């Protein structure tokens, strides 16, 4: 019987604990919440989603969709709970965040191979162990990691979007619909004409942000605050979160100049997330400026946008393979802390680390094919890189095809190749 320590009951830690428990390991899963909270978590639930309730695209020919399919093929707990907690969101998999994290908590707590210990870890673990304390790793523990790993701790800044109470929205000014009609009435759309947009933009650019100097550098390019995008040019938002294309207001003949989209936060539609509105504005400014959006003049905010430092390690320097530390055999770093970016990427790294650790304990080589996104992401983290940054799942990570293919064909082929090879791998592995 192998005993393994997993530190951090987030997406990566829960997935890792689950995969190890499935294979007969006895797991001690340490989670510091609810006694110690992070700046973004607000509950004691395991696998709490700190920002958006969307887990990305569903289409199997997109990188997000393929990652989901790979995770399902490997019996991912997080994917199973996400599928069970799904709320309508067009072509994306969005979940009721409370139902989702309560479900993960229940499944983990009921597993007799997992003991959940609600404790703050302040010591570097002994092998075998997986450290998955996330981008908001507790400060004291981050210092322990720094001391052990040398100069290998890095960071960037990330932001979360506000959530609005549905009852405070003026439904006479907004309309339901998804871009190009894909997904039916999954989004609430707040249309703006040219004058409304210009006024909004001017105020947004001039608005006061939190500790501006500290945050000015080190944003993560794919999760930029809405006010930073606004400052890049008068039309930047129209190609980003306020993109109007494919959205027609049924009450007006003229297409909207800009559209703010709101996505359901729960199955009952009592709350809506402002899509792409992660922000670092001070709270008073958020209320003032976002209430300029048509339909949101009387908006009540369930949560306002926040900004946080995200920690990750310099994986190419510190990891050897499949998230294992070079200098500490049998100790793995998984999740966002290992330099993958995103809810399901973090989940996937927890899964891969657990499989590899389990293989090590049983004397078996366990490495996923490099033409799967899970295998390719793990390989990315150890590739020499003098400017290492956290990485989302994307097709650019996969080995290219020799033959010439259209973009659509290429996407299909990537997905087909990955799932076919993963199936062969799974069948040989069990
Ligand atoms: C503010 C913010 C917004 C984000 N928004 C998104 C988004 O919208 N979409 C997206 O795909 N990704 C987002 N991310 C990135 C990332 O996908 C999530 O942070 C994701 O939850 C990472 O998973 P994880 O398992 O690595 O960490 P987490 O899910 O954060 O889990 C880490 C766990 O470890 C616990 N912990 C920390 N230190 C200790 C300790 N010393 N002892 C015991 N327990 C400890 C924490 O309480 C936490 O439960 C966001 C990140 C941040 C910080």
- Model confidence pLDDT, tens digit, residues 205-250: 999 987 644 444 556 666 789 999 999 999 999 999 999 999 999 8
Cβ(263) to ligand 1 under 6 A? no
Residue that terminates a domain, selected from 304, 336, 359: 304
Polymer length in residues for the chain: 430
Distance CA 70, CA 67 (A): 5
Pair 214, 248 in one domain: yes
Sequence-distant (6+) residues with CB within 8 A of 75 are 19, 22
Residue 125 has pLDDT above 90, yes or no: yes
pLDDT value for 159: 73
Pair 255, 215 in one domain: yes
Per-residue 3-state assignment (H helix, E strand, C coil) for the chain: CCEEEEECCCHHHHHHHHHHHHCCCEEEEECCCCCCCCCCCCCCCCCCCCCCCEEEECCCCCHHHHHHHHHHHCCCHHHHHHHHCEECCCCEEEECHHHHHHHHHHHHHHCCCEEEECCCCCCCCCCCEEECCCCCCCHHHHHHHHHHHHHHEEEEEEEECCEEEHHHCCCCCCEECCHHHCCCCCEEEEEECHHHHHHHHHHHHHCCECCHHHHCCCECHHHCCHHHHHHCCCCHHHHCCCCCCCCCCCCCCCCCCEEEEEEECCCCCCEEEECCCCCCECHHHHHHHHCCCCCCCCCCEEECCEEEEEEEECHHHHEEECCEECCCCCEEECCHHHCECCHHHHHHHHHHHHHHHHHHHHCCCCCCCCCCHHHHHHHHCCCCCCCCCCECCCHHHCCCCCCCCCHHHHHHHHHHHHHHHHHHHHHHHC
pLDDT value for 216: 47
Pair 9, 149 in one domain: yes
Pair 254, 124 in one domain: no
Pair 341, 403 in one domain: yes
Cβ(344) to ligand 1 under 6 A? no
Sequence-distant (6+) residues with CB within 8 A of 70 are 348, 372, 373, 374, 418, 419, 422
Pair 187, 86 in one domain: no
What is the pLDDT of the chain when averaged over all its residues? 92
Pair 170, 87 in one domain: no
Span 329-350, average pLDDT: 96
Pair 75, 199 in one domain: no
pTM over 0.85: no
Pair 118, 229 in one domain: no
261 and 275 Cβ atoms separated by less than 8 Å: yes
Pair 41, 125 in one domain: yes
Residue among 120, 136, 263 whose CB has most ligand 1 atoms within 8 A, to mutate: 136
CATH number at residue 138: 3.50.50.60
Distance CA 216, CA 236 (A): 18
Cβ(90) to ligand 1 under 6 A? no
Residue that terminates a domain, selected from 275, 304, 333: 304
Distance CA 13, CA 200 (A): 41
Residue that terminates a domain, selected from 248, 279, 304: 304
Domain extent, residue 256, equals 162-304
* The two structure tokens encoding residue 60: 């199997």
Cβ(41) to ligand 1 under 6 A? yes
In this prediction, what percent of the chain has a pLDDT beyond 90? 71
Determine the distance separating the centroid of ligand 1 and the alpha carbon of 40, expressed in angstroms.
Answer: 8
Cβ(333) to ligand 1 under 6 A? no
Distance CA 335, CA 378 (A): 11
Cβ(278) to ligand 1 under 6 A? no
Number of domains in the chain: 2
What is the residue with the minimal CA distance to atom 48 of ligand 1? 10
Cβ(97) to ligand 1 under 6 A? no
| Backbone CA torsion sign across 283, 286, 289, 294 | negative
393 and 66 Cβ atoms separated by less than 8 Å: yes
User: pLDDT tens across 373-418, in order?
Assistant: 999 999 999 998 887 888 889 898 898 888 888 889 999 999 999 9
Cβ(315) to ligand 1 under 6 A? no
CATH number at residue 300: 2.40.30.260
pLDDT value for 27: 98
Closest CA relative to residue 339, chosen from 359, 353, 354: 353
Pair 29, 144 in one domain: yes
Determine the distance separating the centroid of ligand 1 and the alpha carbon of 136, expressed in angstroms.
Answer: 6
pLDDT value for 157: 73
Span 48-55, average pLDDT: 91
What is the residue with the minimal CA distance to atom 41 of ligand 1? 121
Closest CA relative to residue 81, chosen from 274, 347, 335: 347
Determine the distance separating the centroid of ligand 1 and the alpha carbon of 147, expressed in angstroms.
Answer: 22
Distance CA 336, CA 134 (A): 5
pLDDT value for 372: 97
Which atom of ligand 1 lies closest to the CA of 347?
25
Burial 10-43 (b: 16+ CB within 10 A, else e): bbbbbbbbbbbbebebebbbbbbbeeeebebbee
Pair 358, 225 in one domain: no
Backbone angles phi, psi at 139, to 5 degrees: -55, -45
């Amino acid at each position: 019987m192998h005993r393994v320590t997993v530190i951090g009951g987030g997406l990566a830690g829960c997935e890792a604990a689950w995969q190890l428990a499935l294979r007969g390991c006895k797991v001690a899963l340490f989670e510091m919440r609810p006694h110690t909270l992070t700046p973004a978590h607000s509950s004691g639930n395991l696998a709490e989603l700190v920002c958006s309730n969307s887990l990305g695209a569903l289409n199997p020919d997109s990188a997000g969709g393929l990652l989901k399919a790979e995770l399902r093929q490997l019996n991912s707990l997080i994917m199973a709970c996400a599928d069970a907690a799904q709320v309508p969101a067009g072509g994306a998999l969005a979940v009721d965040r409370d139902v989702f994290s309560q479900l993960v908590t229940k499944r983990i707590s009921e597993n007799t191979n997992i003991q959940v210990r609600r404790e703050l870890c302040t010591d570097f673990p002994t092998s075998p162990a997986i450290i998955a304390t996330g981008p908001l790793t507790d400060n004291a523990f981050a210092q322990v990691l720094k001391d052990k790993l040398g100069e290998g701790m890095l960071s960037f800044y990330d932001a979360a979007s506000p959530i609005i109470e549905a009852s405070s929205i003026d439904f006479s000014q907004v309309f339901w619909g998804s871009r190009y009609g894909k997904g039916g009435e999954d989004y609430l759309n707040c249309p703006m004409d040219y004058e409304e947009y210009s006024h909004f933009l001017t105020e947004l650019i001039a608005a006061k942000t939190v500790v501006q100097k500290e945050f000015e550098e080190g944003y993560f390019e794919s999760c930029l605050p809405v006010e930073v995008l606004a400052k890049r040019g008068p039309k930047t938002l129209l190609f980003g979160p306020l993109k109007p294309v494919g959205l027609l207001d049924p009450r007006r003949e003229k297409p909207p100049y800009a559209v703010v989209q709101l996505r359901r936060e729960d199955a009952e539609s009592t709350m809506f997330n402002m899509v792409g509105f992660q922000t670092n504005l001070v709270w008073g400014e958020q209320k003032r400026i976002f209430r300029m959006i048509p339909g949101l003049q009387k908006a009540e905010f369930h949560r306002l946008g926040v900004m946080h430092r995200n920690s990750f390690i310099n994986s190419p320097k510190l990891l050897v393979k499949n998230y294992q530390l070079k200098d500490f055999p049998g100790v793995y770093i998984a999740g966002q802390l290992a330099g993958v970016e995103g809810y399901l990427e973090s989940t996937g790294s927890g899964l891969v680390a657990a499989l590899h650790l389990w293989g090590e304990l049983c004397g078996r080589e366990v490495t996923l094919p490099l033409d799967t996104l899970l295998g390719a992401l793990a390989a990315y983290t150890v590739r020499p890189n003098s400017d290492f940054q956290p990485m989302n799942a994307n097709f650019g990570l996969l080995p290219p095809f020799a033959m010439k293919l259209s973009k659509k064909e290429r996407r299909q082929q990537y997905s087909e190749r990955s799932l076919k090879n993963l199936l062969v791998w799974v069948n040989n592995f069990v």
